[in-house]
Amino acid sequence: MLKRLGAQWSRHALSAKPAVVYPVAVCACLLIGWLLALGAAYLQDRADLQQRAVTIAHQLELQFAQANTALARIDAIAPGSNCELTSRLLAAVVQATPHARYALRTAPDGRVCTSDISRIDNPPAVAAGSTLILRSSQAGSPAFVLQHQGNGGSMLELGAVSLAALLQPGSTGVVAGVRMGSQYLAADGTVHAVDDAVGQGLSYQAATQDGLLEVVVRESWAEVVQHSVLRRLDTLLLAALAGVALGWALLRRQLARNSSSWEIAQGIRNREFFTHYQPIVTAEHGECIGVEVLARWRHPVQGAIRSDLFIPAAEDAGLIVPLTRYLIRRVSKEFKQVALPPGFLVGINIAAEHLGMPDLVEDCKILLAVLREKKAVLVLEVSERFPLPEHQVTHRVVQDLRQMGVKLALDDFGIGHADRNYLRRWGFDYLKVEKGYVSALGKDSFKANILDGLLQTSHQLGVQVIVKGVETQGQQNYLSVKGFQFLQGFYFGKPMTLNHFRQWLYSGITQDRVPSVAAMATGRSEATDR
Ligand code: C2E
Ligand code: CA
């Protein structure tokens, strides 16, 4: 899926104007880089907040553990008949307990003794069984009140403001607080209703073990975003560099493509393309039974350009159809002057997309008219590399061509994924075996076995096999003995101009082809006259 999207994007990017490609690529990479930085900052901040919340909760647990120990000590003080001694004991407990500021002991008869004789609070109104409350404001500042009931009662007050010191944020933009029930103690020591106090943002909570308190650490979204930019400047820089590099690469490709497609179009107009012909022979006697037409380009400045470069470029630029059309017209003219043996095959390479165009039928008519006069047969070669589109139009085009006597060859057979169904569905007349199978003979027994098995399959399917890439007499002998009927390759003849081909054809038409062709293959390769 990702791969397909990537390919689509790249195709789209390449079809855009060069001026657009560059900034789009840079922006896309920056955006991706920033999203990565944001994601990394989010995860980092989340881990930091979690760590901070857990640490604060742990510290609170320690503080309250000390406070509870102090409360147990207060419980153990038996209030005497006068409070003076009790008050002194209570004051000692308060002094020894961090954050404690006040203690109170109630005798069973209701008498109240306090750690601070200048202040006598009423025992705080807590629900029975409740041991801790957060008092929002009494005697000027908020406090946590720990309380025991039974044998009178005991109470210890801890200053919430000093406890809130634990909540001071470690980094800017981080807010911490303690939630207790519906109340919330902020880092500045103020107490609010939870709903008013807790805002939006990335937050993490950690509860104390007794579950009474929950530490909330929060960072606003604005801060998270700011962190992603500030902390991840390195990532952003890398993303920007990647964007520049990608943009540059796309721009270069786009410019190269634009220039090559312009040149191909210009080349078709200026008739810079021409044709070479490569013989197809019988395996046994090397008798020529056909040719394959191969496109050649002589560029006005760069000279001869390899077809494995300009054919894919023409396919990419959407110019393969006009190029093929031009070649078909050219072949039609050229063949008017040549006498051919009856049943002679003329193979033309056709791009898969061209077979899906009804115009192809019209394009072929001109050539067919010429070939019919000579009782020759037109064979359209489609590569196995690109499967034929399973459209009704393509099937109709193939059917129309068949009715006109055109044959179909599956080229480069053995490199793609064509199975029996595919061969039957499209009704191929010839299979042209990919060159690699012949060059593998004697080196790769796996490929050699496949080649052997192919004959049997072809008989079952009623198709004829043409083996390409035959370069030596040994290969020819081997293939002939195995029972292959038709061969093509440098051993018999390299692609040549029509004049050379005509000489070659007429000089050997009645005699055993092999020796004379072998001489020709070494003596005259890829003749260059037009
Ligand atoms: P192809 O259809 O497989 O054409 C045969 C290629 O193999 C030709 O290369 C030919 O020169 C080469 N060849 C022939 N015999 C031998 C041999 O014994 N040994 C070796 N090593 N190579 C041999 P070429 O002319 O460079 O063509 C390359 C490909 O370009 C063709 O492969 C075909 O797919 C494509 N092509 C050429 N002309 C056209 C055209 O007019 N239209 C389309 N659509 N494709 C074309
Ligand atoms: Ca071919």
Mean pLDDT of 417-437: 91
Spatial distance between the Cα atoms of 429 and 463, rounded to a whole number of angstroms? 5
Spatial distance between the Cα atoms of 390 and 395, rounded to a whole number of angstroms? 7
Atom number in ligand 1 closest to CA 412? 3
Does 141 score more than 60 pLDDT?
Answer: yes
pLDDT at 127: 46
Mean pLDDT of 282-306: 93
Q: Where residue 1 falls among pLDDT bands split at 50, 70, 90?
A: very low
Does 404 score more than 50 pLDDT?
Answer: yes
Q: Pick the more confident residue, 138 or 289.
A: 289
Atom number in ligand 1 closest to CA 320? 44
pLDDT at 104: 85
Q: Is 324's C-beta closer than 6 angstroms to any atom of ligand 1?
A: yes
Q: Is 435's C-beta closer than 6 angstroms to any atom of ligand 1?
A: yes
pLDDT at 507: 80
Q: Which H or E run includes 203?
A: strand 202-207
Spatial distance between the Cα atoms of 293 and 329, rounded to a whole number of angstroms? 12
SS3 461: helix
pLDDT at 433: 95
Spatial distance between the Cα atoms of 212 and 100, rounded to a whole number of angstroms? 19
User: End-to-end CA distance of the chain, in Å?
Assistant: 48
Q: Is 349's C-beta closer than 6 angstroms to any atom of ligand 1?
A: yes
Percent of the chain with pLDDT over 90: 37
Query: For the chain, how long is the longest CA-to-CA vector?
Result: 142
Ligand number nearest to the C-alpha of 325: 1
Q: Which residue's entry shows tokens 């964007």?
A: 243
User: How far, in Å, from the CA of 268 to the mean position of ligand 2?
Assistant: 21
Q: Which residues contact 47 (CB under 8 A, 6 or more apart)?
A: none
Ligand number nearest to the C-alpha of 308: 1
> Please, how many CA atoms are within 13 Å of residue 395, restricted to the half-sphere of its CB?
7
User: How far, in Å, from the CA of 308 to the mean position of ligand 1?
Assistant: 8
Q: Where residue 497 falls among pLDDT bands split at 50, 70, 90?
A: very high
Closest to 385 (Cα-Cα) out of 356, 411, 347, 353: 411
Q: Is 356's C-beta closer than 6 angstroms to any atom of ligand 1?
A: no
Ligand number nearest to the C-alpha of 436: 1
Torsion 148-153-159-160 (CA) sign: positive
Q: Pick the more confident residue, 175 or 324.
A: 324
SS3 114: strand
Quick one: tokens of 295? Answer: 């496109």
Closest residue by Cα to atom 8, ligand 1, is 294
Does 297 score more than 70 pLDDT?
Answer: yes
Domain parsing of the chain, residue ranges: 17-255, 271-510
Mean pLDDT of 177-188: 83
User: How far, in Å, from the CA of 430 to the mean position of ligand 1?
Assistant: 16
Ligand number nearest to the C-alpha of 430: 2
Lowest-confidence pick of 78-92, 300-314, 479-493: 78-92
Closest to 34 (Cα-Cα) out of 256, 192, 227, 188: 227
Q: Which residue's entry shows tokens 């104390």?
A: 208
Mean pLDDT of 186-197: 75
User: How far, in Å, from the CA of 197 to the mean position of ligand 2?
Assistant: 77
Torsion 445-449-454-455 (CA) sign: positive
Does 229 score more than 80 pLDDT?
Answer: no
Does 11 score more than 90 pLDDT?
Answer: no
Residues with CB under 5 A from ligand 2 (ion): 349, 381, 411
Q: Which CATH number fits domain 271-510: 3.20.20.70, 3.30.70.1050, 3.30.1490.20, 3.20.20.450?
A: 3.20.20.450
User: How far, in Å, from the CA of 409 to the mean position of ligand 2?
Assistant: 9
pLDDT at 511: 44
Percent of the chain with pLDDT over 70: 83
Between helix 18-75 and helix 2-15 the angle, nearest 10°, is 140
Closest residue by Cα to atom 41, ligand 1, is 295
pLDDT at 177: 85
Quick one: tokens of 237? Answer: 């820089």
- Of the spans 145-154, 165-174, 176-185, 484-493, which averages the highest pLDDT? 484-493
Q: Pick the more confident residue, 279 or 246.
A: 279
* DSSP letter, residue 468: -
Q: Which residue's entry shows tokens 């009927």?
A: 485
Q: Is 89's C-beta closer than 6 angstroms to any atom of ligand 1?
A: no
Residue pLDDT, tens place only, 307-349: 998 999 999 889 999 999 999 999 999 999 888 999 999 999 9
Residue pLDDT, tens place only, 201-215: 777 778 887 778 888
**10: phi then psi, degrees, rounded to nearest 5:** -65, -40
Spatial distance between the Cα atoms of 151 and 156, rounded to a whole number of angstroms? 16
Strands 377-383 and 407-413: parallel
Report how far apart, in Å, the C-alpha atoms of 499 and of each of 273, 275, 307, 322, 512 are. Answer: 16, 11, 21, 25, 21
What pairs with residue 381 in β-bridges?
349, 409
pLDDT at 245: 79
Does 471 score more than 60 pLDDT?
Answer: yes
Closest to 283 (Cα-Cα) out of 485, 140, 457: 485
Q: Is 495's C-beta closer than 6 angstroms to any atom of ligand 1?
A: yes
Q: Where residue 146 falls among pLDDT bands split at 50, 70, 90?
A: confident
Spatial distance between the Cα atoms of 471 and 491, rounded to a whole number of angstroms? 4
Mean pLDDT of 294-319: 91
Does 296 score more than 60 pLDDT?
Answer: yes
Spatial distance between the Cα atoms of 10 and 26, rounded to a whole number of angstroms? 14
The pick from 346, 468, 471 for probing ligand 1's pocket by mutation, whose C-beta has the most ligand atoms within 8 angstroms, reads 468
Spatial distance between the Cα atoms of 228 and 413, rounded to a whole number of angstroms? 54
pLDDT at 136: 72
- Average pLDDT of the residues of the chain: 82
Report how far apart, in Å, the C-alpha atoms of 115 and of each of 78, 157, 205, 328, 428 are. Answer: 14, 11, 35, 111, 106
Q: Are 521 and 494 in contact (CB under 8 A)?
A: yes
**156: phi then psi, degrees, rounded to nearest 5:** -135, 130
Query: Counting every residue, how long is the chain?
Result: 530
DSSP 289-349: EEEEEEEEEEETTTEEE-HHHHHHHHHHTT-HHHHHHHHHHHHHHHHTT----TT-EEEEE
Residue pLDDT, tens place only, 34-66: 777 777 777 877 788 888 888 888 888 888 888
User: How much of the chain is in helix, strand and coil states, percent to nearest 5?
Assistant: 50, 20, 30
